[in-house]
């Protein structure tokens, strides 16, 4: 099934007289079990494109279809549900709640889920996903007391806890040593092998090569490198 189809997405930021055409032509397609890497220099629009696809930012122009449905037709409620359940987004700056524990940070998507899981089931799922990222020993530690790599793994656990259909990952291994990073990539790739989709921004060519497709972004435009 077609999970995502983006056709010539554009985003222009306007702050007074200041205009930035961050994405000029963002186009891609993703079906189940497909992984796509986005590479490209700093400032070329990778995060902005990922935010549009993840329904965090509204495009200025272009078409976005999620599971074949035009995202422009989504109600506020539908958009919230897609963000919470369909997408698991590992954001570039992690965006952790600093004064909450690791457990609470990872549990948050479950609290907002329409599934309305009970406390015991939520606890179990948080434990499972923290085991996968190797962070069970920090479960009761406040986010602000974690190292960079540990923060990154909390962000990854939080993105995966709701069992998303599509994983959006913006530099998911940037703060990790290569061994831990490769462990996380394997974890994500195993999920892709189960049929999920992956869109991953990375500066690491070795990681990009492990994806089915590579998109190189230059000055706000996507270019499919090879299949």
Ligand X SMILES: Nc1ncnc2c1ncn2[C@@H]1O[C@H](COP(=O)(O)OP(=O)(O)OP(=O)(O)O)[C@@H](O)[C@H]1O
Q: Which residues contribute to the site for Mg ion (CB under 5 A)? A: 47, 92
Based on the shown chain and the rule CB under 6 A, indicate whether residue 43 belongs to the binding site for ligand X. yes
Nearest to ligand X of 42, 99 (CB atom): 42
Stretch that binds ligand X, among 44-52, 83-91, 149-157, 206-214 (CB under 6 A): 44-52
Residue 68 CB, nearest distance to Mg ion (Å)? 28
209 binds, among Mg ion, ligand X, none (CB under 5 to 8 A by kind): none
64 burial type by CB count under 10 A (0-12 exposed, 13-18 middle, 19+ buried): buried
Based on the shown chain and the rule CB under 6 A, indicate whether residue 153 belongs to the binding site for ligand X. no
27 binds, among ligand X, Mg ion, none (CB under 5 to 8 A by kind): none
Residue 167 CB, nearest distance to ligand X (Å)? 17
Nearest to ligand X of 41, 195 (CB atom): 41
Stretch that binds ligand X, among 25-33, 40-48, 117-125, 154-162 (CB under 6 A): 40-48
- The span from the CA of 171 to the CA of 67, in Å, is 25
Residue 55 CB, nearest distance to ligand X (Å)? 16
Based on the shown chain and the rule CB under 6 A, indicate whether residue 42 belongs to the binding site for ligand X. yes
Q: Which of 61, 59, 90, 63 is nearest to 166 (CA)?
A: 90
> Which positions from 182 through 201 interact with ligand X, judged by CB under 6 A?
none
With tokens 């549990």, the residue in question is 107
Based on the shown chain and the rule CB under 6 A, indicate whether residue 47 belongs to the binding site for ligand X. yes
Question: What's the token pair of residue 40?
Answer: 């490209």
Based on the shown chain and the rule CB under 6 A, indicate whether residue 205 belongs to the binding site for ligand X. no
Based on the shown chain and the rule CB under 6 A, indicate whether residue 204 belongs to the binding site for ligand X. no
22 binds, among Mg ion, ligand X, none (CB under 5 to 8 A by kind): ligand X
- The residues that touch ligand X, with contacts defined as CB under 6 A, are 13, 20, 22, 42-48, 92
């Amino acid at each position: 099934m077609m999970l995502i189809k983006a056709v010539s997405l554009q985003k222009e930021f306007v702050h007074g007289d200041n205009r930035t055409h961050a994405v000029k032509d963002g186009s891609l397609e993703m079906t189940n079990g497909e992984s796509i890497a986005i590479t490209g220099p700093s400032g070329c629009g990778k995060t902005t494109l990922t935010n549009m696809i993840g329904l965090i930012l509204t495009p200025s122009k272009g078409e976005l279809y999620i599971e074949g449905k035009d995202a422009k037709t989504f109600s506020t409620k539908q958009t919230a549900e897609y963000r919470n359940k369909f997408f698991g987004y590992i954001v570039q700056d992690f965006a952790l709640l600093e004064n909450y524990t690791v457990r609470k940070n990872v549990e948050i998507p479950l609290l907002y889920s329409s599934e309305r899981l009970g406390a015991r089931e939520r606890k179990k799922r948080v434990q499972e996903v923290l085991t996968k990222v190797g962070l069970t020993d920090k479960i009761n530690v406040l986010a602000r007391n974690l190292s960079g790599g540990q923060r990154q793994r909390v962000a990854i656990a939080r993105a995966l806890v709701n069992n998303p259909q599509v994983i959006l990952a913006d530099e998911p291994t940037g703060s990790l040593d290569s061994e831990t990073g490769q462990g996380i990539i394997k974890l994500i790739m195993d999920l892709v092998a189960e049929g999920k989709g992956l869109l991953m921004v990375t500066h690491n060519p070795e990681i990009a090569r492990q994806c089915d497709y590579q998109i190189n972004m230059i000055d706000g435009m996507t270019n499919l490198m090879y299949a």
